[in-house]
Structure 1
Amino acid sequence: MRHILLTLTVLLSSCLLAFTASAQTSLSLGGFITGPDAPVEMTADKLTVSQSDGSAQFEGNVIIAQGVIRLTASLVTVTYLEAGGIDRLNASGGVTLVTQTESAKAETAEYDLTNRQLMMRGEVVLIQGQNAILADSMNIDLASGAAVMEGKVRTVLSSESK
Protein backbone atom coordinates (compact mmCIF):
# COMPACT_ATOMS: atom_id res chain seq x y z
CA MET A 1 0.00 0.00 0.00
CA ARG A 2 2.85 2.40 0.85
CA HIS A 3 4.43 1.69 -2.51
CA ILE A 4 1.19 2.61 -4.31
CA LEU A 5 0.82 5.86 -2.30
CA LEU A 6 4.44 6.78 -3.00
CA THR A 7 3.96 6.08 -6.72
CA LEU A 8 0.76 8.19 -6.81
CA THR A 9 2.50 11.04 -4.96
CA VAL A 10 5.39 11.01 -7.43
CA LEU A 11 3.00 10.95 -10.41
CA LEU A 12 0.91 13.83 -9.04
CA SER A 13 4.04 15.86 -8.29
CA SER A 14 5.31 15.24 -11.82
CA CYS A 15 1.98 16.35 -13.30
CA LEU A 16 1.96 19.54 -11.20
CA LEU A 17 5.57 20.32 -12.20
CA ALA A 18 4.73 19.75 -15.87
CA PHE A 19 1.72 22.07 -15.56
CA THR A 20 3.85 24.80 -13.94
CA ALA A 21 6.55 24.42 -16.59
CA SER A 22 4.00 24.91 -19.35
CA ALA A 23 3.52 28.49 -18.21
CA GLN A 24 7.05 29.74 -17.48
CA THR A 25 10.59 28.46 -16.89
CA SER A 26 13.57 30.45 -15.60
CA LEU A 27 17.14 29.45 -16.38
CA SER A 28 20.68 30.77 -16.60
CA LEU A 29 22.43 31.15 -19.97
CA GLY A 30 26.03 32.03 -19.20
CA GLY A 31 27.05 31.83 -22.86
CA PHE A 32 24.75 34.73 -23.76
CA ILE A 33 26.51 37.26 -21.52
CA THR A 34 28.31 39.87 -23.62
CA GLY A 35 29.97 43.20 -22.93
CA PRO A 36 27.89 46.25 -23.86
CA ASP A 37 30.88 47.93 -25.50
CA ALA A 38 31.77 44.96 -27.70
CA PRO A 39 31.64 45.98 -31.38
CA VAL A 40 28.72 44.76 -33.52
CA GLU A 41 29.67 43.37 -36.93
CA MET A 42 26.96 42.87 -39.58
CA THR A 43 27.13 41.22 -43.00
CA ALA A 44 24.37 40.58 -45.55
CA ASP A 45 23.66 40.21 -49.25
CA LYS A 46 21.88 43.58 -49.39
CA LEU A 47 21.77 46.76 -47.31
CA THR A 48 19.06 49.42 -47.65
CA VAL A 49 19.30 52.65 -45.63
CA SER A 50 16.23 54.82 -45.04
CA GLN A 51 17.00 58.53 -45.29
CA SER A 52 13.69 59.45 -43.61
CA ASP A 53 14.26 57.66 -40.29
CA GLY A 54 17.90 56.61 -40.51
CA SER A 55 17.13 52.91 -40.09
CA ALA A 56 18.95 50.23 -42.03
CA GLN A 57 17.65 46.95 -43.42
CA PHE A 58 19.98 44.00 -43.95
CA GLU A 59 18.59 41.28 -46.23
CA GLY A 60 19.75 37.81 -47.24
CA ASN A 61 22.22 35.66 -45.31
CA VAL A 62 22.42 38.18 -42.47
CA ILE A 63 25.08 37.50 -39.85
CA ILE A 64 25.39 39.70 -36.78
CA ALA A 65 28.22 39.18 -34.28
CA GLN A 66 28.88 40.79 -30.90
CA GLY A 67 31.45 39.19 -28.62
CA VAL A 68 30.74 35.44 -28.53
CA ILE A 69 27.16 35.83 -29.82
CA ARG A 70 26.32 35.14 -33.49
CA LEU A 71 22.83 35.81 -34.86
CA THR A 72 21.74 34.77 -38.34
CA ALA A 73 18.46 35.58 -40.11
CA SER A 74 16.95 36.37 -43.50
CA LEU A 75 16.07 39.97 -42.59
CA VAL A 76 17.30 42.36 -39.89
CA THR A 77 16.13 45.94 -39.38
CA VAL A 78 18.49 48.18 -37.38
CA THR A 79 17.22 51.20 -35.44
CA TYR A 80 19.85 53.76 -34.44
CA LEU A 81 20.02 56.14 -31.46
CA GLU A 82 19.82 59.88 -32.21
CA ALA A 83 23.30 60.29 -30.71
CA GLY A 84 24.63 57.48 -32.91
CA GLY A 85 25.13 53.80 -32.18
CA ILE A 86 22.66 50.96 -32.47
CA ASP A 87 19.53 50.98 -30.34
CA ARG A 88 17.74 47.83 -31.53
CA LEU A 89 17.89 44.97 -34.04
CA ASN A 90 14.71 43.24 -35.25
CA ALA A 91 15.37 39.90 -36.97
CA SER A 92 13.02 37.58 -38.82
CA GLY A 93 13.16 34.59 -41.11
CA GLY A 94 14.86 31.58 -39.59
CA VAL A 95 16.55 33.33 -36.69
CA THR A 96 19.42 31.35 -35.16
CA LEU A 97 21.48 32.49 -32.19
CA VAL A 98 24.72 30.72 -31.28
CA THR A 99 27.28 31.06 -28.47
CA GLN A 100 30.15 28.79 -27.46
CA THR A 101 27.88 26.69 -25.20
CA GLU A 102 24.27 27.25 -26.33
CA SER A 103 22.17 27.77 -29.43
CA ALA A 104 18.60 28.94 -29.98
CA LYS A 105 16.22 29.12 -32.93
CA ALA A 106 13.01 31.11 -33.36
CA GLU A 107 10.80 32.80 -35.94
CA THR A 108 11.73 36.34 -34.79
CA ALA A 109 14.14 38.07 -32.41
CA GLU A 110 14.45 41.57 -31.01
CA TYR A 111 17.84 42.58 -29.63
CA ASP A 112 17.64 45.74 -27.48
CA LEU A 113 21.28 46.83 -27.19
CA THR A 114 20.43 49.84 -25.01
CA ASN A 115 18.78 47.73 -22.28
CA ARG A 116 20.79 44.57 -23.09
CA GLN A 117 17.71 42.40 -23.62
CA LEU A 118 17.12 39.71 -26.23
CA MET A 119 13.56 38.53 -26.93
CA MET A 120 12.94 35.53 -29.19
CA ARG A 121 9.41 34.63 -30.32
CA GLY A 122 7.72 31.82 -32.21
CA GLU A 123 8.60 28.15 -31.76
CA VAL A 124 11.73 28.84 -29.71
CA VAL A 125 14.15 25.93 -29.36
CA LEU A 126 17.07 26.31 -26.93
CA ILE A 127 19.84 23.70 -27.03
CA GLN A 128 22.30 23.30 -24.15
CA GLY A 129 24.59 20.32 -24.73
CA GLN A 130 22.37 17.22 -25.07
CA ASN A 131 19.31 19.00 -23.56
CA ALA A 132 16.61 21.06 -25.26
CA ILE A 133 13.92 23.46 -24.06
CA LEU A 134 11.04 24.45 -26.34
CA ALA A 135 8.65 27.38 -25.76
CA ASP A 136 6.62 30.11 -27.44
CA SER A 137 9.04 32.84 -26.29
CA MET A 138 12.34 33.43 -24.52
CA ASN A 139 13.60 36.64 -22.91
CA ILE A 140 17.31 36.89 -22.02
CA ASP A 141 18.98 39.55 -19.86
CA LEU A 142 22.39 39.81 -21.57
CA ALA A 143 23.94 41.49 -18.52
CA SER A 144 23.33 38.50 -16.25
CA GLY A 145 22.51 35.60 -18.58
CA ALA A 146 19.16 35.08 -16.81
CA ALA A 147 16.40 33.86 -19.11
CA VAL A 148 12.67 33.26 -18.91
CA MET A 149 10.88 30.91 -21.31
CA GLU A 150 7.10 31.15 -21.55
CA GLY A 151 4.20 29.45 -23.28
CA LYS A 152 3.97 25.70 -23.78
CA VAL A 153 7.40 25.13 -22.22
CA ARG A 154 8.68 21.62 -22.85
CA THR A 155 12.01 20.26 -21.61
CA VAL A 156 13.83 17.33 -23.16
CA LEU A 157 16.69 16.08 -20.96
CA SER A 158 19.28 13.60 -22.17
CA SER A 159 19.52 10.37 -20.18
CA GLU A 160 23.18 9.94 -21.19
CA SER A 161 25.81 10.73 -18.59
CA LYS A 162 29.23 11.79 -19.86
Structure 2
Amino acid sequence: MRGHFALLALTLFATAASAQVRHNSNAPIDFNAGTIELQDRANRAILSGGVNVRQANMTLDAQRMTVAYTGQITGGSPQVSRLDASGGVTVTRPDQRAKSQYAVYDLNRRVITMLGGVTLVQGAGNTVNGGRLTIDLDTGRATIDGSSVGTTKAPDGSVIRQGGRVTGRFSVPERSQ
Protein backbone atom coordinates (compact mmCIF):
# COMPACT_ATOMS: atom_id res chain seq x y z
CA MET A 1 0.00 0.00 0.00
CA ARG A 2 2.91 2.35 0.79
CA GLY A 3 4.14 2.11 -2.83
CA HIS A 4 0.66 2.91 -4.10
CA PHE A 5 0.54 6.07 -1.96
CA ALA A 6 3.94 7.20 -3.27
CA LEU A 7 2.76 6.60 -6.84
CA LEU A 8 -0.49 8.50 -6.16
CA ALA A 9 1.39 11.39 -4.58
CA LEU A 10 3.78 11.53 -7.51
CA THR A 11 0.90 11.40 -9.98
CA LEU A 12 -0.78 14.34 -8.20
CA PHE A 13 2.48 16.28 -8.33
CA ALA A 14 3.05 15.39 -11.98
CA THR A 15 -0.49 16.47 -12.81
CA ALA A 16 0.24 19.86 -11.27
CA ALA A 17 3.42 19.99 -13.33
CA SER A 18 1.51 19.13 -16.51
CA ALA A 19 -0.33 22.42 -16.13
CA GLN A 20 2.92 23.93 -17.36
CA VAL A 21 2.82 25.59 -20.75
CA ARG A 22 4.35 23.39 -23.43
CA HIS A 23 8.00 24.34 -23.83
CA ASN A 24 9.15 25.67 -27.20
CA SER A 25 12.17 23.43 -27.78
CA ASN A 26 12.58 24.97 -31.25
CA ALA A 27 13.40 28.39 -29.76
CA PRO A 28 17.01 29.52 -30.06
CA ILE A 29 19.35 28.73 -27.18
CA ASP A 30 21.20 31.70 -25.68
CA PHE A 31 24.12 31.11 -23.33
CA ASN A 32 26.73 32.88 -21.28
CA ALA A 33 29.71 31.39 -19.48
CA GLY A 34 33.12 32.23 -18.11
CA THR A 35 34.88 30.29 -20.90
CA ILE A 36 34.09 28.31 -24.03
CA GLU A 37 36.22 25.68 -25.71
CA LEU A 38 35.16 24.77 -29.25
CA GLN A 39 35.93 21.24 -30.38
CA ASP A 40 34.73 21.39 -34.00
CA ARG A 41 36.07 17.98 -35.02
CA ALA A 42 34.03 16.42 -32.21
CA ASN A 43 31.00 18.68 -32.90
CA ARG A 44 30.89 19.97 -29.35
CA ALA A 45 31.59 22.98 -27.19
CA ILE A 46 32.58 22.96 -23.53
CA LEU A 47 31.17 25.85 -21.49
CA SER A 48 32.44 26.45 -17.96
CA GLY A 49 32.38 29.02 -15.20
CA GLY A 50 28.85 29.88 -14.11
CA VAL A 51 27.08 28.66 -17.25
CA ASN A 52 23.61 30.06 -17.95
CA VAL A 53 21.50 28.76 -20.84
CA ARG A 54 18.10 30.17 -21.77
CA GLN A 55 15.58 28.74 -24.19
CA ALA A 56 12.17 30.40 -24.38
CA ASN A 57 10.86 30.56 -20.77
CA MET A 58 13.30 27.97 -19.37
CA THR A 59 16.79 28.47 -17.93
CA LEU A 60 19.48 25.92 -17.17
CA ASP A 61 22.34 26.90 -14.85
CA ALA A 62 25.44 24.81 -14.06
CA GLN A 63 29.16 25.11 -13.46
CA ARG A 64 30.03 23.16 -16.61
CA MET A 65 28.15 22.17 -19.75
CA THR A 66 29.00 20.15 -22.84
CA VAL A 67 27.02 21.20 -25.90
CA ALA A 68 26.78 18.54 -28.64
CA TYR A 69 25.76 19.76 -32.06
CA THR A 70 25.21 18.31 -35.49
CA GLY A 71 27.26 19.30 -38.51
CA GLN A 72 24.24 21.18 -39.88
CA ILE A 73 24.13 24.97 -39.75
CA THR A 74 20.80 26.81 -39.43
CA GLY A 75 20.68 30.61 -39.49
CA GLY A 76 24.46 30.77 -39.10
CA SER A 77 24.49 28.60 -35.94
CA PRO A 78 25.09 24.86 -35.45
CA GLN A 79 22.04 22.77 -34.55
CA VAL A 80 22.32 21.69 -30.91
CA SER A 81 21.22 18.13 -30.17
CA ARG A 82 22.17 17.67 -26.49
CA LEU A 83 23.33 19.56 -23.40
CA ASP A 84 25.17 17.73 -20.58
CA ALA A 85 25.38 19.82 -17.41
CA SER A 86 27.23 19.22 -14.14
CA GLY A 87 27.89 21.03 -10.90
CA GLY A 88 25.02 22.71 -9.09
CA VAL A 89 22.51 22.21 -11.91
CA THR A 90 19.27 24.21 -11.73
CA VAL A 91 16.43 24.10 -14.26
CA THR A 92 13.88 26.87 -13.89
CA ARG A 93 10.53 26.92 -15.67
CA PRO A 94 7.41 28.97 -14.88
CA ASP A 95 6.26 27.97 -11.37
CA GLN A 96 8.82 25.13 -11.21
CA ARG A 97 12.46 24.82 -10.12
CA ALA A 98 14.56 21.64 -10.09
CA LYS A 99 18.06 21.14 -8.69
CA SER A 100 20.52 18.26 -9.05
CA GLN A 101 24.17 17.34 -9.50
CA TYR A 102 23.87 16.43 -13.20
CA ALA A 103 21.42 16.94 -16.06
CA VAL A 104 21.03 15.93 -19.69
CA TYR A 105 18.79 17.91 -22.03
CA ASP A 106 18.07 15.77 -25.11
CA LEU A 107 16.71 18.28 -27.62
CA ASN A 108 15.71 15.60 -30.13
CA ARG A 109 13.51 13.78 -27.58
CA ARG A 110 12.55 17.05 -25.80
CA VAL A 111 13.38 15.48 -22.43
CA ILE A 112 15.48 16.69 -19.50
CA THR A 113 16.87 14.04 -17.16
CA MET A 114 18.33 15.21 -13.85
CA LEU A 115 20.41 12.95 -11.60
CA GLY A 116 21.83 13.02 -8.09
CA GLY A 117 20.19 14.64 -5.10
CA VAL A 118 17.21 15.92 -7.07
CA THR A 119 14.81 18.45 -5.56
CA LEU A 120 11.73 19.60 -7.50
CA VAL A 121 9.74 22.54 -6.17
CA GLN A 122 6.36 23.36 -7.70
CA GLY A 123 4.57 26.55 -6.76
CA ALA A 124 4.85 27.85 -3.22
CA GLY A 125 5.11 24.65 -1.23
CA ASN A 126 5.04 21.37 -3.16
CA THR A 127 8.46 19.69 -2.91
CA VAL A 128 9.60 16.25 -4.04
CA ASN A 129 13.10 14.81 -3.52
CA GLY A 130 14.62 11.80 -5.24
CA GLY A 131 17.51 10.47 -7.23
CA ARG A 132 16.34 10.95 -10.81
CA LEU A 133 13.88 13.38 -12.40
CA THR A 134 12.63 13.20 -15.98
CA ILE A 135 10.78 16.18 -17.45
CA ASP A 136 8.94 15.69 -20.74
CA LEU A 137 8.93 19.18 -22.25
CA ASP A 138 6.10 18.34 -24.68
CA THR A 139 3.64 17.29 -21.99
CA GLY A 140 5.13 19.07 -18.95
CA ARG A 141 4.97 15.76 -17.07
CA ALA A 142 7.62 15.36 -14.36
CA THR A 143 8.51 11.88 -13.09
CA ILE A 144 10.83 11.41 -10.12
CA ASP A 145 12.13 8.20 -8.63
CA GLY A 146 14.40 7.17 -5.79
CA SER A 147 17.31 6.00 -7.95
CA SER A 148 20.57 6.90 -6.34
CA VAL A 149 23.64 8.02 -8.21
CA GLY A 150 26.97 6.51 -7.28
CA THR A 151 27.77 4.18 -4.44
CA THR A 152 28.17 4.24 -0.69
CA LYS A 153 30.92 2.51 1.30
CA ALA A 154 30.15 0.34 4.31
CA PRO A 155 32.22 0.68 7.53
CA ASP A 156 34.31 -2.33 6.49
CA GLY A 157 35.25 -0.58 3.23
CA SER A 158 33.06 -2.69 0.96
CA VAL A 159 31.00 -0.86 -1.62
CA ILE A 160 27.23 -1.07 -1.34
CA ARG A 161 24.47 0.52 -3.41
CA GLN A 162 22.11 2.79 -1.58
CA GLY A 163 18.47 2.31 -2.52
CA GLY A 164 16.61 5.58 -2.73
CA ARG A 165 13.13 6.68 -1.83
CA VAL A 166 11.05 9.54 -3.08
CA THR A 167 10.17 11.98 -0.32
CA GLY A 168 8.29 15.24 -0.31
CA ARG A 169 5.68 17.58 1.00
CA PHE A 170 2.49 18.84 -0.60
CA SER A 171 0.93 22.11 0.46
CA VAL A 172 -2.71 22.09 1.47
CA PRO A 173 -4.94 25.12 0.97
CA GLU A 174 -6.22 26.75 4.11
CA ARG A 175 -9.83 25.92 4.83
CA SER A 176 -12.22 27.80 7.05
CA GLN A 177 -13.60 25.69 9.88
Shorter-chain TM-score tier? 0.7 to 0.9
Name the aligned partner's letter for residue 74 of structure 1. Q
Residue of structure 1 equivalent to 2:156: none
Residue of structure 2 equivalent to 1:47: 36
For residues 118 and 79 of structure 1, do their structure 2 counterparts lie closer, same or farther at Cα, with a shift above 3 Å needed?
same
Distance of 1:118 and 1:101 partners within structure 2: 17
Choose from 137, 144, 147 the match for 2:139: 144
Quote how far apart the aligned CAs of 1:146 are: 1.2
In the TM superposition, structure 1's runs of 4+ consecutive aligned residues that sit over 4 Å from their partners are: none
Choose from 94, 98, 109 the match for 2:88: 94
TM-score normalised per structure 2: 0.75
Unaligned runs of 5+ in 1: 1-12
Name the aligned partner's letter for residue 48 of structure 1. E
Distance of 1:78 and 1:128 partners within structure 2: 28
Unaligned runs of 5+ in 2: 73-77, 147-164
Name the aligned partner's letter for residue 136 of structure 1. G
Larger Rg: 1
Question: Structure 1, residues 55-92: CA drift from partner, whole Å, max 9, x if none?
Answer: 10100110000111011000000000232400000000
Residue of structure 2 equivalent to 1:6: none
TM-score normalised per structure 1: 0.82
Counting aligned pairs with the same residue, the percent is 29
Matches within 5 A, 1:60-75: 60-75=49-64
For residues 88 and 16 of structure 1, do their structure 2 counterparts lie closer, same or farther at Cα, with a shift above 3 Å needed?
closer
Question: Structure 1, residues 11-46: CA drift from partner, whole Å, max 9, x if none?
Answer: xx5x4545x44xx94414243731122111010010
Distance of 2:110 and 2:29 partners within structure 1: 13
**Greater relative contact order: 1 or 2 (C-alpha under 8 angstroms, separation 6 or more)?**
1
Q: Kindly tell me the number of residue pairs found equivalent between the two proteins.
A: 147
Matches within 5 A, 1:1-162: 15-18=2-5, 20-21=6-7, 25-26=10-11, 27-28=14-15, 29=17, 30-31=19-20, 33-83=22-72, 84-129=78-123, 130-151=125-146, 152-159=165-172, 161=174
CA RMSD of aligned residues (A): 2.2
Kindly indicate whether the alpha-carbon contact (under 8 Å) linking 1:140 and 1:148 is maintained by their aligned counterparts in 2: yes
Q: Higher mean Cα deviation, 134-143 or 81-90?
A: 81-90
Distance of 1:16 and 1:51 partners within structure 2: 48
